[in-house]
Amino acid sequence: MHVPDGFINAPVSAVAGVGAACAIAVSLRGARRELDERTAPLAGLVAAFIFAVQMLNFPVAAGTSGHLLGGALAAILVGPYTGVLCVSVVLLMQGILFADGGLTALGVNISDMAITTTVVAYAVFRGLVKVLPRKRRSITVASFVAALISVPAAALTFTAIYALGGTTDVPIGKVLTAMVGVHVLIGIGEAAITALTVGAVIAVRPDLVHGARGLTVPLQLRVGGELIDAPAPQRVPAAARSTRRVRAVFVFAALLLAGFVSFYASASPDGLEKVAHDKGIDTKTKKHATESSPLAGYSVKDIGNNRVATGLAGMIGVGVTVGVGSGIFWVVRRRKGTLADATPTAIPETEKV
């Protein structure tokens, strides 16, 4: 659903850019509360994993494909504020390095793919978690539903933005029907990927899943016909438990998907591209500012073997996204520690001069 340059006029694109910048500023502050010594390194890898999975377009209808948006996955794993930042980093890397998503439309894409999906998905997720049984399976089910709803919600956001600043004269009703219809189908794929990933992490390290915090219930034993809480087992403090294995799995999975599996992704246009072509929205599309990038189109130029060119581009993208994302989240985490250290401490009355 990457909006290229030319779909939306300059004034609306500028307003969307300002709104996206404000949302990112809020998210940077919110992420300080979400990130700790365990999740800060993980957040950069979540961004890289989303980048990798977005390269895997899957068929959803005749001549149409879809790909992960990632807002639901990021919000549930590392928190909604950090999730907005994760997807925004991915969109920035895609626009600059791979000519995917217009640079003047970056604010539109962040508003659509990062903010809308993350906010809607996390709101739905939290609502479901409150009414479902307090079990790990409920987290997976809530993840599936939240991700499913987040994709057509993003389609609605694009339709609203297009209604305000579309550069072509296409009836908004036709755009709405086509966008929501195809993105409901794409949402099923998004939901499956999100639920499988969240479920896998919960199975090995539930303490690392932001959306699962505070949902554990004590083990109960039946004694004399009555249920009593079992004594809590002695556990290693969460802060002391290494996340090295989980981080290694994320790195391996991202490199595998981007470096090898991406070659077999569907070549059909994604939902937005298909609707834009069928309805005439793309008649005023502009050339991408970085179309001459050596990685444009997710393929390394001057490499004759398409499989190698695609795989190498994907692996470079994963590496850059990990580097940029981890750097941002390290700074946010460090800033949190600096602010905490700088908090003034009350002086006891007996020590005051």
Distance, CA of 142 to CA of 211 (rounded, Å): 10
User: Which structure tokens are listed for 289?
Assistant: 């500012």
SS (H, E, C) the chain: CCCCCCCECHHHHHHHHHHHHHHHHHHHHHHHHHCCCCHHHHHHHHHHHHHHHHCCCEEEECCEEECCCCHHHHHHHHCHHHHHHHHHHHHHHHHHHCCCCCCCCHHHHHHHHHHHHHHHHHHHHHHHHHHCCCCHHHHHHHHHHHHHHHHHHHHHHHHHHHHHHECCCCCHHHHHHHHHHHHHHHHHHHHHHHHHHHHHHHHHCHHHCHHHCCCCCCCEEEECCEEEECCCCCCCCHHHCCCHHHHHHHHHHHHHHHHCHHHHCCCCCEHHHHHHHHHCHHHHCCCCCCCCCCCCCCCCCCCCCHHHHHHHHHHHHHHHHHHHHHHHHHHHHHHHHHHHHHCCCCCCHHHCC
From its phi and psi, is residue 227 left (phi > 0), alpha (psi between -120 and 50) or beta? beta
130 falls within a domain = yes
Whether the CB-CB separation of 189 and 68 falls below 8 Å is answered with: yes
* Nearest-5° Cα angle at 42, 260 to 2: 55
pLDDT band at 279 (very low <50, low <70, confident <90, very high): very high
User: Residue 39's Cα: distance from chain center in Å?
Assistant: 15
228 falls within a domain = no
Whether the CB-CB separation of 296 and 288 falls below 8 Å is answered with: yes
Examine the pLDDT at 353 and tell me if it is beyond 60: no
Examine the pLDDT at 216 and tell me if it is beyond 80: no
Give the model's pLDDT for residue 349: 46
Distance, CA of 16 to CA of 120 (rounded, Å): 18
5 falls within a domain = no
Residues in the chain: 353
User: Which structure tokens are listed for 244?
Assistant: 């090295």
pLDDT band at 87 (very low <50, low <70, confident <90, very high): very high
Q: Distance of CA 213 to CAs 65, 77, 126, Å?
A: 35, 10, 11
29: domain CATH number is 1.10.1760.20
pLDDT band at 335 (very low <50, low <70, confident <90, very high): confident
More confident residue, 192 or 1: 192
Contacts of 312 (CB under 8 A, 6+ apart): 259, 300, 303
Give the model's pLDDT for residue 336: 65
233 falls within a domain = no
User: Which structure tokens are listed for 337?
Assistant: 């520690």
Q: Domain range spanning residue 140? A: 10-216+243-339
37 falls within a domain = yes
pLDDT band at 228 (very low <50, low <70, confident <90, very high): low
Examine the pLDDT at 129 and tell me if it is beyond 50: yes
Task: Kindly provide the b/e burial profile for residues 178-216, where b requires at least 16 CB atoms within 10 angstroms of the residue's own CB.
Answer: bbbebbbbbbbbbbebbbebbbebbeebebbbbbbeebe
- Per-residue pLDDT of 34-86, as tens digits, reads 998 878 889 999 999 999 999 999 999 889 999 999 999 999 999 999 999 99
What's the whole-number mean pLDDT along residues 284-298? 93
Give the model's pLDDT for residue 334: 82
Lowest pLDDT segment from 101-115, 183-197, 334-348: 334-348
User: Which structure tokens are listed for 290?
Assistant: 């970085």
221 falls within a domain = no
The rounded mean pLDDT for the chain is: 89
How many domains are there within the chain? 1
What's the whole-number mean pLDDT along residues 170-179? 96
229 falls within a domain = no
Give the model's pLDDT for residue 58: 96
Task: Kindly provide the b/e burial profile for residues 118-142, where b requires at least 16 CB atoms within 10 angstroms of the residue's own CB.
Answer: bbbbbbbbeebbeeeeeebebbbbb
Give the model's pLDDT for residue 239: 46
What's the whole-number mean pLDDT along residues 167-186? 96
More confident residue, 60 or 215: 60
Give the model's pLDDT for residue 33: 92
Distance, CA of 48 to CA of 60 (rounded, Å): 24
Distance, CA of 88 to CA of 123 (rounded, Å): 19
Which residue, 63, 23, 284, is CA-closest to 162? 284
288 falls within a domain = yes
What's the whole-number mean pLDDT along residues 204-232? 69
